[in-house]
Amino acid sequence: MQQGRFRSRRWFLGFGAAWSAALVACRGKSDPPASAEPRALGAAVSPYGSRSKYEKTARFFNQNTKVPLEEASSRTPLHDTYGIITPSSLHFERHHSGVPEIDPAQHTLVIHGLVDRPLEFSVDELKRLPSVSRIHFLECSGNSGGEWRGGSTESDVQRIHGLTSCSEWTGVPVATLLHECGVHADATWVLAEGADAGKHDRSIPMKKIMGDALVVYGQNGEPLRPEQGYPLRLLLPGWEGNANVKWLRRLKVMNQPAMSREETSKYTDLMPDGTARQFTFDLEAKSIITRPSGGDRLVAGTFCELTGIAWTGRGTIVSVELTTDGGATWEKAHLQTPVLPIAHTRFRFPWKWDGKETIIASRCTDDTGYTQPPLPELIKVRGMNSQYHNNGIQAWKVASDGTITNGNRA
């Protein structure tokens, strides 16, 4: 692993054999592959690209479960995605009655209720309205939920935290659409409903709807993927994924929440005293080291950059601190630009493991002054049964042989 040392400026740029070797170091392998550049002509141009056949990274979902796969979730491979954008094919999924197949020519969005002029928009009509593109993360509030009982036996970042992804979304501000309809003075909530088999629905406060909410038709430069709501979805930046209704068919302006199943019996946070918190919409600041992380094996004395993502539903990440000594000391990580509001923020930290058993972890602070808390602090206040909204610090345990496992239970 001699290549893992600083040798030239190329190393900093992340090109070449040195960089490949550093990545291999994180995986604990050693021999760089022999050069095998093809000499024959390559493939011709093609209408729609796909990745190299050598790349196998995929979403993870548990197939041995009593939960029907139409209402299951699949998780983003955070260890093997880079930068801040999640490829659309790897965006996490959580459905409640399967992915509907919708012909966009047949689909409409109806806005009605407490408005002067109920309106129905075709997908093409929506695309003619003034649109915006914004990069935002989307996280299921059940993400990392398995850790609420004081740490789980799950050992890799995809299985523990893979219900967060980040995309560029393009759509029309809901405020623009409601302005077209003429909202009544007594309107306080908007019910958003999908066209999926179970007609998933959530009530959203008017303030959010008139703020940064979007009706989205684009994801990472192309139409939404079916799994993310094709052809239309609601996007509520920074708010729990479940409220960002996919396959959006209807917005009903109301003066009360509907108290749907998904906002009463589900997505409510049970406290130790038996009460439950309702309408806990925004996602608090959170960060995780994604690489190296659970499942990796370090080699003592070799360089291995620590990298990961941080995000907050309340604004912008201002700092990420890392500990490599079990929390005794914390040092600031480098935040890679762009650092965008309500988006995954990539952090990096140079490191060489000394071969001793330790705990590594990250914690972030956002521009409201809020700092990501240790998981035990959250449990102290919310107990072990709140199920949703775990943004506690993720500890990774490095054993003396270099293997990394979930350190939350340690």
Which residue is listed with tokens 């003075």?
Answer: 185
Of the two residues 112 and 225, which places its CB atom closer to another protein in the complex? 112
Of the two residues 27 and 112, which places its CB atom closer to another protein in the complex? 112
Shortest reach from residue 300's CB to another protein, in Å: 36
Closest CA to 162 of 49, 225, 72: 72
Q: DSSP characters for 64-126?
A: SSSS-GGG-EEB--GGG--SSPPPGGG--EE-SS------TTT-EEEEEESBSS-EEEEHHHH
Cα-Cα-Cα-Cα dihedral of 176, 182, 185, 187, to 10°?
-70
Closest CA to 166 of 291, 342, 394, 390: 342
Of the two residues 89 and 368, which places its CB atom closer to another protein in the complex? 368
Of the two residues 302 and 365, which places its CB atom closer to another protein in the complex? 365
Coil, strand or helix: which one is 281? Answer: coil
Of the two residues 288 and 398, which places its CB atom closer to another protein in the complex? 288
Across the strands, what pairs with 108?
Answer: 122
For residues 334 and 302, is the Cβ–Cβ distance under 8 A?
A: no
Shortest reach from residue 111's CB to another protein, in Å: 8
Shortest reach from residue 183's CB to another protein, in Å: 4
Which residues are CB-neighbours of 381 under 8 A, at least 6 positions away?
A: none
Shortest reach from residue 341's CB to another protein, in Å: 14
Shortest reach from residue 231's CB to another protein, in Å: 16
Of the two residues 51 and 277, which places its CB atom closer to another protein in the complex? 277
Shortest reach from residue 285's CB to another protein, in Å: 9
Which tokens belong to 273? 């005293």
Of the two residues 277 and 334, which places its CB atom closer to another protein in the complex? 277
Shortest reach from residue 67's CB to another protein, in Å: 8
Residue 353 to residue 337: CA distance in whole angstroms: 26
